[in-house]
Amino acid sequence: MQQSEFLNVVMPFKDKLFRLAKRLLVSKEEAEDATQEILLKLWSKKKSMEDYKNVEAFAMTMTKNFCLDRLKSKQAGNLKLVHSNYQEKGSQLQTQIEAKDSVSWVEKIMAELPEQQKMVLQLRDIEEYDYDEIGEMLNMQQTAVRVALSRARKTVREKLAQKHSYGIG
Amino acid sequence: MESDKIEKLIEKYFEASTTVAEEETLKTYFSKESVPPHLAQYAPMFQYFAIAKEEKFTKQVPLDSIASVTKKRFNYKWLSVAAVGLLMFGIYFGNNYRVAQQVEQEKAEFAYQQTKKAFSLLAENFNKGTEKVAYLNQFEETKQKIYNEN
């Protein structure tokens, strides 16, 4: 497989890998490194890549495993990920500052979710995968995916409502 | 779109039984600015999802360097071939050199023997000369006797 061919295969979903990595690892730099690592791994496996039914799902699973490993080693090393780059590129209108604030709250709330719910929510609501695709990527039953997703969505809703009623920003 | 339909969709959404298309409907609905106040609490979620989807991976991946690494590994194979070749070459020519050295040593030995022979011949003849000269001593002795007697 040539480099251009490889890039054609990988390009469409590399952003998805990055976003999943960022969701899990929080910091942008970590996520970039992780994505790069995954792409290089894929590149080194390029000979066997034709054999995989779904390269995208395979890459997603790789990303998930890699990031979870990273998190585990981070915890073992007693390092805490810190990040301060809450950047919102959304609604640019000056009048929507409050709405913008709640939007960034969603990101913070998602960061507090358990890893599995985080991943399910990311894959479903942001990347819009089917349930069976998510099941394949995360090695879960479809019903388990649905349950995790429902829980994640409800948690986000509740916490968002709390923030609104308490008015803490 | 009527808000009661949206409400139903939202209910389904939180039970995780909506399809991708229905979720798409929700997202487009909440991306609009005029959302009824009782639904406004859900707006940030969907807006955030839409925003989060825009994030791009911008870092360049150096696939070229990886390609060169695999190339380097390829070189190692040829390196071993070259090493074996060099070894064979060394053994072949090393042996030649050794044989040449042996021949030279034999030649040197032969020359040494010849020289030794020549020297011993010389020494032999020289000794013959000194034997003859020994008679001169006799002459000297008798000359002394004659002097003493006088």
User: Mind listing the pLDDT tens digit for each residue in B47-105?
Assistant: 888 888 888 888 777 666 555 555 555 667 888 899 999 999 999 998 889 999 999 99
Examine residue A152 and state whether it is found in any structural domain, yes or no: yes
State how far the Cα of A91 lies from the Cα of B35, in Å rounded to an integer: 15
- Which of chain A's residues have a Cβ under 8 Å away from the Cβ of B42? 157
User: Taking the alpha carbons of B66, B69, B73, B74 in that order, is the dihedral positive or negative?
Assistant: positive
Token pair of A106 as six digits: 């969603």
Domain assignment of residue B41, given as a range: 3-52
How many distinct structural domains can be found in chain B?
Answer: 1
- What residue type is assigned to position A9 of the chain? V
B41 and A19: CB-CB below 8 Å?
Answer: no
Quick one: tokens of A24?
């899990």
- Does the beta carbon of A40 lie under 8 angstroms from any beta carbon of chain B? yes
Integer Cα distance of A31 and A19 in angstroms: 8
User: At A148, which CATH number?
Assistant: 1.10.10.10
In the chain, the amino acid numbered A45 is: K
Do residues A30 and A79 make contact, with C-beta atoms less than 8 angstroms apart? no
In-domain check, residue A160? yes
| Average pLDDT of the residues of chain B | 84
Any domain includes A135: yes
B42 falls within a domain = yes
Q: How many domains does chain A have?
A: 2
Residue B75 half-sphere exposure, CB side, CA atoms within 13 Å?
6
- Whether B108 maps to a domain, the answer reads no
User: Which residues of chain A from 71 to 90 reach within 8 Å of chain B, CB to CB?
Assistant: 88-90
pTM above 0.90, yes or no: no
Q: What is the pLDDT of residues A5-18, one digit of tens each?
A: 888 888 888 888 88
Helix and strand totals (H; E) in chain A: 7, 0
* Residue A28, in any domain of the structure: yes
Could you read off the pLDDT of B99-131 as tens digits, one per residue? 999 999 999 999 999 999 999 999 999 888 888
Residue ranges making up the domain that contains A55: 3-76
pLDDT in tens, A70-106: 888 876 555 555 555 555 554 445 445 666 677 777 8
Q: In this structure, is residue A37 part of a structural domain?
A: yes
CB contact under 8 A, B57 and A154: no
Question: Which residue of A36, A103, A163 to mutate against B (max B Cβ within 10 Å)?
Answer: A103
Same domain for A7 and A72? yes
Q: Do B48 and A40 touch (CB under 8 A)?
A: no
Give the CATH number, domain containing residue A66: 1.10.1740.10
Whether A161 contacts B41, CB under 8 Å: yes
